[in-house]
Structure 1
């Protein structure tokens, strides 16, 4: 692993080298979120040559909350038991002054905070904003303190403007942050991911959970991979026993993530299964009872693979999906297709049950298939 200092871009700004020390022995998420928020704001500003840039601390803090909202609320990442940002977000939720949902993105959170009415804003400033700004701005600058150069305006990244709610970034520093925005952001996210790995063991796709854009890949290719098997295999129901064939004989289904996308953060074929469209909507981001459905799921996947391996002409899409199976299960697809039922179910259980436990521990809800089926009937 490279030394943190090796990842900091070289600069004529003497104090820039100190950035490599910012996240050493970090015990709370606020430094990462503070720096990432400042980076985004500086990148969005037009600089005037030679003129310092001022940023509003309420604006920085609002962006910090928005950046923490996605990984903690949408993806249920644990920032640590004593984490200050997590405490502030829980406090914000308990105040009930903003209407936010776990699925909201950064922009939605910012809009909600900017739309606070005067009485709501007073509560927010007292309970959320002030506790965060009491220590964060000063603690972040600790690598630059105690130096003979500390009185130089260009030495540290910013200084607080008197007793106001603003920080001032000298022109050389602002220019440096803008010009090296992508590299510095990558550095901060890399360090943040390392911080979170210690607190979220066995969580897949952790880096993707830090900055979620809302964009998801198309399922058109895996859907066709499944459709050809369903048609030729004359499959009538999904693994939950619900119909996927219309009265006219046409297939109607959604390709469902057996373990929800917001947990696995990918569309790999071994986690996908065609299900009744209404049932898929009911299941959403909930976790199925793996031991209850793993037999049907494993056998369905085995039949899918067997069908495609028997085809005379193999295409690149088949090879791409085969590689996903082989990487996940640790054996060739030809072995999977010939595996006895008992061994197959054991293999699938060994892979999926630990992931099921992790998802439930992260706060994903259990899916009640009986209630879901009843709602379809209604």
Structure 2
């Protein structure tokens, strides 16, 4: 991915900041800088930047359980701060940042300020190759080599010659960060689907109303009732005592494909959260329900767009093979558990 060119700025230096990266710090540090410069913050407290690094990675780590690597201190900091502070897994970014900028908790402050040891000057090594931390601080404070910002004890100061470029090209530069970050994380999570869409908390989860009315309503109409595979409760469309939910949590698969959706008891859905179902306990019932629903829709609504979604599992929609379905579901459950998703307790 190429950055916008400039006739007077060393853009090649900025383009090379991720060329040698062993952790996520640089990505989230530069993202924090860009977001604040975008809002015309030009002399920025380091703690404000560290708080934004935490907030930008919060949802990816806590909700999607994407691994940053065993040695990554940013992941450790997020997990520790979640434990020490009264914040939720899906907390809003603004609240996280405000909280971290003002907390008096010494453990939290220690987690934040740990990043001051290396992160601020590491990014500038592209402008000052081979120099130590003290020299980078001294030279950057004078904006030598047209570096991106100057380093001071508690703040950074954006180099005035870079301000217009950063603000004008903010969108592209943030995409540059996320693109490189997604490549970095994909190598550490090779079996985790859809890494790019797990880097930013969506403004709102997609509604499943269309899947309910355009696919599952037909199944309810044909069968009368559907037994919840988790609680054995008889679900009825008219009583609305069900919710359409993901068999494998959305937080892992990051999609709403019809082959991973099913109606379950509404009250159980509230308690299930993003827990994983046991393959041994629930797959057979899930498969039979999916096969029945598939055959009903194939008979009465064969041109439904949802039928094509099964082509991500089967080579055609002429058959609904248990082995192929199992070979998709079982590995996803195993990988999700390996990435930190917990199994739900059996309702029996």
Q: TM-score, normalised by structure 1?
A: 0.83
Q: Is the 8 A contact 1:13 1:173 kept in 2?
A: no
In the other structure, the counterpart of 1:159 is: 150
For 1:1-378, list aligned pairs within 5 A: 4=1, 7-45=2-40, 53-93=42-82, 96=84, 98-117=85-104, 120=105, 122-125=106-109, 127-146=110-129, 155-161=146-152, 163=153, 165-224=154-213, 225-240=215-230, 241-245=232-236, 250-311=239-300, 318=304, 320-326=305-311, 328-336=312-320, 344-370=321-347
CA positional deviation for 1:65: 1.2
CA distance in structure 2 between the partners assigned to 1:267 and 1:286 by the alignment: 17
CA positional deviation for 1:13: 3.8
CA positional deviation for 1:111: 3.0
Q: The residue matched to 1:370 in structure 2 has which SS? A: coil
CA distance in structure 2 between the partners assigned to 1:276 and 1:84 by the alignment: 40
In the other structure, the counterpart of 1:374 is: none
CA positional deviation for 1:349: 1.4
Give structure 1 stretches of 5+ with no counterpart. 47-52, 337-343, 372-378
Q: The residue matched to 1:274 in structure 2 has which SS? A: strand
Q: Deviations over 1:191-233 (max 9, x none)?
A: 1111111111211121121111341111111001101221122
Q: The residue matched to 2:347 in structure 1 has which SS? A: helix
Q: Is the 8 A contact 2:277 2:343 kept in 1?
A: yes
**Cα 1:143/1:285, change in 2 over 3 Å:** same
Q: Is the 8 A contact 1:305 1:333 kept in 2?
A: no
CA distance in structure 1 between the partners assigned to 2:175 and 2:205 by the alignment: 21
Q: Deviations over 1:77-114 (max 9, x none)?
A: 111111121233344356x2x21222324223213213
CA positional deviation for 1:274: 0.8
Q: The residue matched to 2:47 in structure 1 has which SS? A: helix
Q: The residue matched to 2:165 in structure 1 has which SS? A: helix
In the other structure, the counterpart of 2:134 is: none
CA distance in structure 1 between the partners assigned to 2:293 and 2:317 by the alignment: 11
CA distance in structure 2 between the partners assigned to 1:130 and 1:370 by the alignment: 45
**Cα 1:146/1:273, change in 2 over 3 Å:** closer
CA positional deviation for 1:152: 5.2
Q: Deviations over 1:240-273 (max 9, x none)?
A: 3222128xx6453100100111111111111000
Q: Is the 8 A contact 1:153 1:170 kept in 2?
A: no
CA distance in structure 2 between the partners assigned to 1:250 and 1:100 by the alignment: 36
CA distance in structure 2 between the partners assigned to 1:321 and 1:43 by the alignment: 41
CA distance in structure 1 between the partners assigned to 2:318 and 2:159 by the alignment: 63
**Cα 1:143/1:244, change in 2 over 3 Å:** same
**Cα 1:91/1:304, change in 2 over 3 Å:** closer
Give structure 2 stretches of 5+ with no counterpart. 131-138
**Cα 1:90/1:223, change in 2 over 3 Å:** closer
**Cα 1:269/1:170, change in 2 over 3 Å:** same
CA RMSD between the two structures: 2.2
CA distance in structure 2 between the partners assigned to 1:204 and 1:198 by the alignment: 12
Aligned residues: 337
